Structure 1
Amino acid sequence: MLARRTLGRLAAQPPVLGAAPAGARNMATLREIELRLKSVRNIEKITKSMKMIASTKLNKAQRAMVAGKQYGVANAEVFKNAPPEAPAKRKLVIVVSSDKGLCGGIHSSVSKATRRLFADKEAGLEPSSPIMVIGDKSKAQLSRALPKNIVLTFNQIGRDIPTFADAAGVADLILKSGVEYDGIAIVYNKFLSAISYESAVVEVETESTLKESPGFKAYEMEDDVTKDLAEFALANAIYAALVESHACEQSARRNAMDNASKNASDMISRLQMQYNRGRQAAITNELVDIITGASAL
């Protein structure tokens, strides 16, 4: 009888220190908690490193953005003195995004703005208006929402800091694509501060719109002059949108990695407390068994 009781008591004990008791359900062992702690600590190191890299890139991106904004200011001055006679109905929508992730909802921001632009009845945009996307992230999102409107996509643009050559190449491909449109709308992320941004839309006038505007009709100009000006204005607008979106992306990635590091630290604290409690409980059980065995002898 005593042997049976002893065997039953030994069978009920955890096989190793820190293991879950027999019959316990969904109770993590100390070994599992230890492995999870190690994994979260490694993730924390990665996110902190990515935050430092994003902070360095953000400073460079902000300097490039300040210089690139001057191109957009020049465009705005030209279009202000040459307003169109009537708003365009069939616009080419250029969505500025990127190929990289781990930067929060920055890609979803321009995708949602594009969908709102098509859904807004006051904008008067034709449902069949073409869309061209710069960046694979927004391309994947808009391919599900507006698959029939996407006519051209670009990737590997601005892998580092975007240059005017990148914008000129995109503008050249757009003009050679043969897509018909009356106006151009560029959807991009507008940089507000190092911790905030918002989606914005900038209008770009086409060659035909500039020719018909009263401001240009007042002067005698050759056709090549208006054509070159329209092409240069499109490249200017794309470059200004690219550098500003790039700065927003680096800012969002820095904030995302900062939040991820904080979440990892909180999780480490909780897991460490859970591990300490489990270890204390296991040691207490072992001491109780030892004392009980010694008392029985």
Structure 2
Amino acid sequence: MPSLKDIKKRIGSVKNTQQITKAMKMVAAAKLRRAQDAAVAARPYAEKLQSVLSNLAAREEADAHPLLSQRGTSRALVVLMTADRGLCGGFNANVSKEAERFIRANEQGFDDIDLMIIGRKGRDFLKSRLGDKIVKVYENITTDATYKTAQLIGQEVVDAYSEEKYDAVFVLYNAFQSAIVQNVTLEQVLPIQPKEAEEGAEDSIDYIYEPDKAGVLSDILPKMVEVQFFRGLLESNASEQGARMSAMDSASRNASEMIGKLTLQYNRARQAAITKELMEIISGAESIK
């Protein structure tokens, strides 16, 4: 049985840990508000742009621009978005496992599937499972993601697709729903998918290109890819902060329960020690008589 000193020391250790988890929860809560506002604000623009370009892709020929061309299924690229730090529950593991599941399930459909990882934790999780498929890793860009960051990643992906290194590009990230709910989301980025015509709906939308079709497509199609990556980074960051806040809140509550149990154990051990001392005193007094 542990001594009183050992139990008291462990109580102190758990209390120190609890202070850390409470502080981390407060920091995550403060970051969550800003990250959530940014993610929610980006949704309408990203969704409208995607809708417009889906309509545009349905009306243009595949050879109008390289990003519209529907090629074979030779090689694919999956862009996985995770975090650089842990202590956020199943945030990193859930999306990393989905990446592994998707690649395993589609190995027969594609000749080869490469993996581009954003975030250190995704790399750590998958390097022993899919190390041969990881072609690039970006670190320390998820917390303060800017549009310029998404622009650099998007341009790299667009160049690779235009050079026909890949026939399809997917992005995989945690979409923010609430502080306790993050939805693992897989989207096809390239080629840009044409919008399916609804049954009975009239095809009334048409576009006028200024100054010309080639110039407009060359400017707006890569921008859609950049916006999709930017939205993914914002959603992933908000989800990370929400998951971390929830995980630290759970850890703090578990620490409180552990402190209660250890305190009870300490009091029982102390009571047993006092009773033992009293018995020894009484026994000594009786032996003197």
Query: Aligned residues, how many?
Result: 263
The answer on whether the counterparts of 1:158 and 1:166 sit within 8 Å (CA) in structure 2 is no
Q: In the TM superposition, what is the alpha-carbon distance from 1:107 to its structure 2 partner?
A: 0.8
Q: In the TM superposition, what is the alpha-carbon distance from 1:79 to its structure 2 partner?
A: 4.0
The answer on whether the counterparts of 1:79 and 1:205 sit within 8 Å (CA) in structure 2 is no
The one of 156, 166, 171 aligned to 2:149: 166
Q: In the TM superposition, what is the alpha-carbon distance from 1:86 to its structure 2 partner?
A: 5.2
Aligned partner of 1:245: which letter? S
Q: State percent identity of aligned pairs.
A: 37
Aligned partner of 1:149: which letter? K
What corresponds to 1:287 in structure 2?
278
Residues 1:117 and 2:102 are matched in the alignment = yes
SS at 1:131 equivalent: strand
What corresponds to 1:274 in structure 2?
265
Q: In the TM superposition, what is the alpha-carbon distance from 1:293 to its structure 2 partner?
A: 0.4
What corresponds to 1:142 in structure 2?
126
CA-to-partner distance for each residue in 1:109-166, whole Å, 9 max, x for gaps? Answer: 1111112212335x96415121111111001112122112111111111323x22112
Q: In the TM superposition, what is the alpha-carbon distance from 1:170 to its structure 2 partner?
A: 1.9
Residues 1:156 and 2:140 are matched in the alignment = yes
Q: Pairwise CA RMSD of aligned residues?
A: 2.6
SS at 1:194 equivalent: coil
1:148-297 matched pairs, under 5 angstroms: 148-160=132-144, 162-175=145-158, 180-206=165-191, 221-222=213-214, 224-297=215-288
What corresponds to 1:53 in structure 2?
27
Q: In the TM superposition, what is the alpha-carbon distance from 1:169 to its structure 2 partner?
A: 2.1
Residues 1:39 and 2:30 are matched in the alignment = no
Q: In the TM superposition, what is the alpha-carbon distance from 1:256 to its structure 2 partner?
A: 0.2
Look at both structures and tell me which one has the larger radius of gyration over its CA atoms: 1
The answer on whether the counterparts of 1:132 and 1:152 sit within 8 Å (CA) in structure 2 is yes
CA-to-partner distance for each residue in 1:7-37, whole Å, 9 max, x for gaps? Answer: xxxxxxxxxxxxxxxxxxxx11111000000
Query: Structure 2 CA distance, aligned partners of 1:73 and 1:239?
Result: 12
What corresponds to 1:105 in structure 2?
90
Q: In the TM superposition, what is the alpha-carbon distance from 1:72 to its structure 2 partner?
A: 2.4
Query: Structure 2 CA distance, aligned partners of 1:228 and 1:206?
Result: 16
Q: In the TM superposition, what is the alpha-carbon distance from 1:282 to its structure 2 partner?
A: 0.4
What corresponds to 2:117 in structure 1?
133
SS at 2:117 equivalent: strand
Extract unaligned runs of 5+ from structure 1.
1-26
CA-to-partner distance for each residue in 1:245-294, whole Å, 9 max, x for gaps? Answer: 11110000000000000100000000000000000000110111011101
SS at 1:102 equivalent: coil
SS at 2:132 equivalent: coil
Residues 1:78 and 2:69 are matched in the alignment = no
* Displacement over 6 Å in runs of 4+: none
Q: Evaluate the alpha carbon distance shift between residue 88 and residue 156 of structure 1 in structure 2; reply closer, same or farther with a 3 A threshold.
A: farther
